[in-house]
Every structure is written in structure tokens, then in C-alpha cells.
Amino acid sequence: MSTLTTATALEVRDLVVRYGSGRRARQTPPAVDGVSFDIAPGETLGLVGESGSGKSTIGKAVLGLHPPAAGTVRLHGQDVTRMPLKQRSRHAADLRVVFQDPYSSLNPARTIGQTLVEPLRLLGVRGPAANAKARAALESVGLPGDAADRYPAQFSGGQRQRVAIARALVCDPKVLVLDEPVSALDLSTQAQVLNLLADLRDQHGLAFLFIAHDLGVVRFLAQRVVVLYRGQVMETGPVESVTQAPRHPYTVALTAAAPVPRPAEQAARRAAREALGIGTAGAAKPSPTGCPFVPRCPLATEICSQQRPPLRQVDDTHTACHHAERTATLG
């Protein structure tokens, strides 16, 4: 859901993604079930949820790495959902990705320069022009241009992630999919990379689809957030509203689970989460007809098992909960 008045860089509508094929795929709940959102130039949208919520699957569908079963993905108004690979490659420069692990995302046998110029060759940029763009991309992420002559093993984890960001930027993209880009880094390095991403977004007007499990990290970088559970949108809206005054019990649980650097506050949050009685995702079988969160929800009633709640506006967010007005009592 969005009320953007500017042109959208990325638009996703009613996205459904299934794994497997044939009867088994049809009988298994979809990994992503009817998700919609859009992102404007210069904006970051956070996708947040527990493991298995469908965050990375949405990223794969947007990137064309997994075909959607239904719905559309539009890049600057152009439908790229089922576009043939050869035709989609023309849009590849506008849509790039930064993966989670800075250690496995770079080929150890190739210099940084060789890695960065590879996507440029596909765009017809070669020779000195490609080398110059590669060095400029490295400098834009705070690394020296001569880093192009070195190998990944000569860099720390934070530096490798800067290289991965430079690789994404070298084609001058308009949209970046950031799939848990700081989760493998220590806290101080996380802060440096997040600040770098925010600066690059603002300087170049980039649209970020920021995938993460930590609401605190999402709050730092994103303007809006989509909270996912078992492939469905539970809550969406401005990041401050969703994190400070959540209206879905699942968002309340995620907020309580977000790590903080102060041990006393962390212990209080853990106690608050346990008091909710929500439990873990793997221990609960979802409702086949109603809200998927029913087995874990302290507010669940009969209607929750019978009817899937629609996204509706409650205060400043859109929430898929029949009892969203009662969520404040969980505090």
C-alpha cells in the first residue's frame, strides 16, 4: 500500500510465488501470497519478517531469479514479470542486487577490477572506459581506486561488502535489491555500511528494496516498511509508525525481539516477548482459511480462523488484523 505521488521506480502488485511444480505446488501454501508495494526514486522500503516469511523470495521474483505464479513486477512502468531473458537483460543495468554474505559473493580467483568490469562488458563498455568506471565505483564507496588490482582475500568483511556495493553501482542502476546486506557484519561495520548506503541513495536518487529480519536496522535506513509472515503482509506503513506504535500482534513480537546494545533493556524485551505467549514460527501450523498468525496470536478469536483479514488502515498504518484496535493492550 502506498500514497506516493511521484513516479515509482519499482512496482509490485498482487505477487504470488510458489515453489515446486504440478499438483504439489498447487496444494502447498505459496511462499509469497498476494504482496503489493511500490518504491519511489530516493526511497527505501524495508521488507521485514522472521525466517521463512518470504522476504528473499520476493527479492528473487523482482530480480527475475524465480518466476511468479501470479502478479506483476514493473520497473519504471515497464512490466518485466515474464519478460524473456534476452529482453530483460536490457533492463539489467537498472536493477542490481547486493547479497548477504560478502565472503561468498565475490570470486576469490578474480581481481576486484575483473569482477567490476564484467557487468560493464555486457553493456558494451570495455577497455579503459570500463576500468575507469570500476575505479570510480570503488572510490564512491570509500575504497581507493587501486583496490581494483587486489583480490577479495586481501579485504575485510566490511570492505568486501563495499566492493559488492560498488559492483552493483558500476552500471548506474536506478533500483537496488539489498538482501540482508549487513547481517553478516559486526555492529560497528554495520553502521558504516548503512551510513554509506544512505549517502549513496540520497546522492543518486536510488530506490532501495531493503530485506532484513531486524526491525532496528530497517528503521535506520527505510522510510516505509512491509511486515511479512508466511508470505502475507501483516502490516505496512511509515517505519516510525510501524516500529513505535505497531497495530499487528506479530509486529509487536518482532519489535520485542529486535536486539538492543543495553543488556538490561534486552532482558526486559525478552521478558515482554515471553509474556505475549507468541512462541516461535516453526511450532505453529498456519490456519488454511483465515489469518496465518492465528496459532500464535494472543488476540485470536473464531473469526480469525475463518476469514483472512484484509489490509485496512488503522491510525497511520495498514494492518491485516481483525482486532488491530486491541493490539495496544498487549503492551
Name the β-bridge partners of 33. Answer: 16
Residue 5, pLDDT score: 41
pLDDT band (50, 70, 90) for residue 27: confident
Q: CB–CB of 248/237 below 8 Å?
A: no
Q: What residue segments make up the domains of the chain, in order of their start?
A: 10-244, 246-331
Greater confidence (184 vs 287) lies with 184
pLDDT band (50, 70, 90) for residue 103: confident
Residue 4, pLDDT score: 41
State mean pLDDT over 158-170: 94
Q: What is the CATH topology of the domain spanning 10-244?
A: Rossmann fold (3.40.50)
pTM for the predicted model, two decimal places = 0.90
pLDDT band (50, 70, 90) for residue 167: very high
- d(CA 260, CA 266) in angstroms, rounded, equals 6
Q: CB–CB of 58/28 below 8 Å?
A: no
Residue 38, pLDDT score: 96
Average pLDDT of every residue of the chain? 88
Written as nine digits, the cell of 215 is: 526491525
pLDDT band (50, 70, 90) for residue 292: very high
* Secondary structure in 3-state letters for the chain: CCCCCCCCCEEEEEEEECCCCHHHHHHCCCCEEEEEEEECCCCEEEEECCCCCCHHHHHHHHHCCCCCCEEEEEECCEECCCCCHHHHHHHHHHEEEECCCCCCCCCCCCCHHHHHHHHHHHCCCCHHHHHHHHHHHHHHCCCCHHHHHCCHHHCCHHHHHHHHHHHHHCCCCCEEEEECCCCCCCHHHHHHHHHHHHHHHHHHCCEEEEEECCHHHHHHHCCEEEEEECCEEEEEEEHHHHHHCCCCHHHHHHHHHCCCCCHHHHHHHHHHHHHHCCCCHHHCCCCCCCCCCHHHCCCCCHHHHHCCCCCEEECCEEECCCCHHHHHHHC
- d(CA 41, CA 139) in angstroms, rounded, equals 23
Written as nine digits, the cell of 192 is: 558504516
Check whether 275 has a pLDDT greater than 80: no
Q: CB–CB of 158/193 below 8 Å?
A: yes
State mean pLDDT over 230-239: 96
CA 279 to chain centre: 24
Q: Tell me which residue of 114, 136, 135, 197 sits closest to 162, measured CA to CA.
A: 197
CA 323 to chain centre: 27
